[in-house]
Amino acid sequence: MPRRMHLVTRRQWVTGPPMRVTISWMEFARAIASAAITAIVIGVICLAAFRLLARHWPAAALLGRSVRAPFRVMLFVVAASVAARIPPGHTRQWWPSVQHGLHILVIVAVSWLIAAILLYLEDASLRRHRTDIPDNRVARRLRTQVLLLRRLTVAVIVVVTIGAILLTFTEVRAVGASVLASAGVLSVVAGLAAQSTLSNVFAGITIAFSDALRIDDAVIVEEEWGTVEELTLTYVVVRLWDDRRLILPSTYFTSTPFQNWTRHTSELLGAVEFDVDWRIDTTGMRAELDRILARTDLWDERVKVLQVTDALGGWVHIRVLVTARDAPTLFDLRCLVREALVSWVQRHNADALPRHRTELVESEARPYARDSADDAGLFTGDDEAKTRAIRVGGVLVGPDGREGRP
């Protein structure tokens, strides 16, 4: 009988719920203090390592400033989570919720640190390529791609963090299998419901990485001139010449032709056209163009041409071609050349101003009078015509002017 009772007791000990170890509040306070001191020591060591590394690698100082806050938060949250593994005193009912909350904070802190490191790497790539120089095509392309990657990075980290937090709940893990089983159907339904949105997202990625459009590109869209101010996954913001903003979906630039004036280089060629009289002094006008371009810094010294391209309708059509380093400079240069040449024509070649000529001619023609030859027609004139008129039921006019039938 004692032996049987011993076996029952042993079976209960084996199959019963696991015993939870607890510590006193004093021991828990010491554990928290020890974890905090460990976190501080690790933080100080990392700070010293970054300062030592910054002497040989200047970018380390910027990296340290970028990750300082998330790294410190992560250290203290991890330390608190480790110290809270053993519940203090009689806290078996609510202490698992505290541990769960600290687990979630650890996930958030780690995600914050990863995001800070990735954003630092993206900013470092932007700092190596300046956009405030004349030839900045490569820098603008890199800036466009990095800004798009930044948005993708933040979005992916947020989604992964939320997913990791949800997986810490037992209820979410329990329904995970059914969610994965229906993922194919849900993806089809979501794709059909968000077809336009997804097309804009893919169009934005295509634009950024195909190098068809970049930040600060000079473009003409919807018969408006402007520069690309912002490029996102779903839309593009074009700043027009009068400071208006034209917002277009990303699919517009993949399905509609548009002009990109800075596709490969920012240098452009522009035309200034005039209609003047035939008495224009083209030699003097060409010399004046040379003097105008020599006095301005807007011209990049690549092309200067003055040609007579047409001579019709009593006017001579003159076209002037000039070049500049970018679109805004070219616009100012064209305005300058047009104004200066108009002033030169007014001062030095006034005979060449456009004129409409009218010639007055005295006419000796008699007033309009009809003769007998003019009366010949299909149903009037000779006898055959009269016969045709009678045959179709026409009316004849006699010599006295009276109408009647024969």
Residue 368 lies in a domain: no
* Same domain assignment for residues 345 and 386: no
* Same domain assignment for residues 130 and 68: yes
List, for residues 322-352, the tens digit of each pLDDT value: 998 877 888 899 999 999 999 999 998 888 8
- Asked whether 234 and 219 are in contact (CB, 8 A), the reply is no
* Same domain assignment for residues 68 and 204: no
Asked whether residue 61 carries a pLDDT value surpassing 50, the answer given is: yes
Domain of residue 340 covers: 268-352
* Same domain assignment for residues 90 and 225: no
* Same domain assignment for residues 170 and 202: no
Asked whether residue 377 carries a pLDDT value surpassing 70, the answer given is: no
- Asked whether 306 and 289 are in contact (CB, 8 A), the reply is yes
Maximum CA extent, the chain: 161
275: domain CATH number is 3.30.70.100
Residue 30 has a pLDDT of 74
Of 176, 203, 228, the residue at which a domain comes to its end is: 176
* 3-class state of residue 225 by DSSP: strand
DSSP 370-390: --GGGG--SSSSSHHHHHHHH
* Same domain assignment for residues 334 and 399: no
135 vs 194: which has the higher pLDDT: 135
Q: In the numeric block, which tokens belong to residue 180?
A: 């994965």
List, for residues 23-52, the tens digit of each pLDDT value: 566 776 777 777 778 778 887 787 777 777
Of 223, 239, 260, the residue at which a domain comes to its end is: 260
Q: Per-residue confidence at 374, pLDDT binned at 50, 70, 90?
A: low
Number of domains in the chain: 4
Residue 10 has a pLDDT of 40
- Report the predicted TM-score, pTM, of the whole model to 2 decimal places: 0.48
User: For residue 75, which amino acid is it?
Assistant: L
- Torsion over CA: 228, 232, 234, 237 (sign): negative
Q: Per-residue confidence at 14, pLDDT binned at 50, 70, 90?
A: very low
Q: Which long-range contacts (CB under 8 A, 24 or more apart) does 193-200 make?
A: 197/234, 199/251, 200/233, 200/234, 200/235, 200/249, 200/250, 200/251
* Same domain assignment for residues 146 and 85: yes
Of 239, 260, 281, the residue at which a domain comes to its end is: 260
* Same domain assignment for residues 113 and 256: no
